[in-house]
């Protein structure tokens, strides 16, 4: 079964590594792949919990804005086609 870790848990795990625990010991203890560990380290390394929550909030806002742009672009394309047929 695949376990999802919260940002708080990920940061706590990364803090263990920063405190000197070996990456190989961490991946074994938490049953995660090395790839997952280093992806977490790349994304969350050096962050505290509030920064990680802010990052997640910004990523969600970015996703919503991209969706909005896609919808508006589609609407614009449809309107241009209607105008071209009627014009």
SS3 content of the chain, % helix, strand, coil (to 5): 80, 0, 20
Helix (H) / strand (E) containing 55: helix 49-86
pLDDT (tens digit, 9 = 90+) per residue, 30-83?
A: 999 999 999 999 999 999 999 999 999 999 999 999 999 999 999 999 999 999
Domain assignments of the chain as residue spans, ordered by start: 1-47, 57-87
Query: Positive or negative, the Cα torsion across 56, 66, 3, 44?
Result: negative
Cα 47 to Cα 86: distance, rounded to the nearest angstrom: 56
The model's pTM? 0.68
């Amino acid at each position: 079964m695949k376990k999802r870790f919260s940002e708080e848990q990920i940061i706590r795990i990364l803090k263990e590594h920063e405190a000197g625990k070996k990456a190989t010991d961490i991946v074994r203890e938490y049953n995660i792949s090395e790839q997952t560990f280093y992806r977490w380290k790349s994304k969350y390394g050096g962050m505290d919990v509030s920064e990680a929550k802010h990052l997640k909030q910004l990523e969600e806002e970015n996703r919503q804005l991209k969706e909005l742009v896609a919808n508006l672009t589609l609407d614009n394309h449809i309107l241009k086609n209607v105008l071209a047929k009627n014009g």
